[in-house]
């Protein structure tokens, strides 16, 4: 059976990246996806915004919704302090082993736990099954119509604390209007908009930071 695009991305990383070197894994994926096959990684341009917010948050416990090939998991985990951990939720069973392998090539397997399933099923288990207290940083990069309901779930399950930082990808395109409606003009959030471009393209996109105020 023909290989998938995601398997071809893994092949490229496995062949070209330096084992244990997260930067080289990111560079390899960005090179492959800008020159060979477009893929929905957050990419190098929006990746710099992600880096900035992760450094600002300096999270002990981070959550990512939408692992895909593990590009943003590597991007986030490479910045985490020794005691910190990233949980990443992915529902597509084909992507999970590929992401695991890419994260391992980056040498970050001890910093990242990939949880396979739908966010709406896993978020309610984070405290009980995964011993999470509250989340310091959340990167939303999964189905755009799930940003708002999953954010509400995070609130309802007491997973956000005063100062928890949410960062959402694709606010410009494909867009997440319900999420913006929920966090903007909401006394419980302080929002900041970051205009950028769609990964590997000239088309406009944007990210939104929403700090939970308690």
Q: Which is nearer to ligand 7JQ, 59 or 66 (CB)?
A: 66
The DSSP element (H or E) to which 176 belongs, if any, is none
Per 3-state DSSP, the chain is made up of helix, strand and coil in percentages (nearest 5) of: 45, 25, 30
Q: Is 170 annotated as catalytic?
A: yes
Q: Min. distance of Cβ 11 from Mg ion in angstroms?
A: 22
Q: Which of 141, 150, 205, 208 is catalytic?
A: 141
Does the footprint of Mg ion cover residue 170 (CB under 5 A)? yes
Number of residues that bind Mg ion (CB under 5 A): 3
Each residue 113-152 as x (binds Mg ion by CB under 5 A) or -, in order, gives ----------------------------x-----------
Q: State how far the Cα of 195 lies from the Cα of 38, in Å rounded to an integer.
A: 20
Does the footprint of Mg ion cover residue 90 (CB under 5 A)? no
Reported residue count of the chain is: 214
Q: Which is nearer to Mg ion, 80 or 140 (CB)?
A: 140
Under DSSP, is residue 70 helix (H, G, I), strand (E, B) or coil? coil
Q: State how far the Cα of 148 lies from the Cα of 187, in Å rounded to an integer.
A: 16
Q: Which is nearer to Mg ion, 21 or 45 (CB)?
A: 45
Pick from 107, 108, 73: nearest CA to 90: 73
Annotated catalytic residues are 141, 144, 169-170, 199
């Amino acid at each position: 059976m023909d290989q998938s695009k995601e398997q071809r991305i893994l092949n490229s990383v496995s062949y070209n990246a330096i084992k244990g070197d997260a930067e080289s894994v990111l560079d390899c994926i960005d090179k492959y996806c800008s020159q060979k096959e477009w893929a929905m990684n957050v990419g190098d341009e929006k990746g710099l915004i992600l880096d900035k917010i992760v450094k600002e948050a300096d999270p002990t416990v981070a959550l990512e919704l939408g692992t895909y090939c593990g590009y943003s998991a590597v991007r986030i985990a490479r910045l985490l302090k020794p005691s910190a951990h990233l949980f990443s939720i992915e529902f597509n069973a084909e992507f999970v082993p590929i992401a695991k392998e890419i994260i391992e090539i980056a040498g970050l397997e001890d910093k990242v736990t990939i949880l396979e399933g739908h966010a709406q099923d896993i978020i309610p288990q984070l405290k009980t099954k995964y011993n999470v207290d509250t989340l310091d940083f959340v990167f939303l990069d999964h189905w755009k119509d799930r940003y708002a309901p999953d954010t509400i779930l995070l609130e309802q399950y007491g997973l956000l604390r005063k100062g928890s930082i949410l960062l959402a990808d694709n606010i410009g395109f494909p867009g997440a209007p319900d999420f913006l409606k929920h966090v903007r003009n909401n006394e419980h959030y302080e929002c900041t908009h970051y205009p950028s471009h769609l990964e590997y393209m000239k088309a406009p996109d944007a990210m939104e930071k929403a700090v939970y105020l308690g």
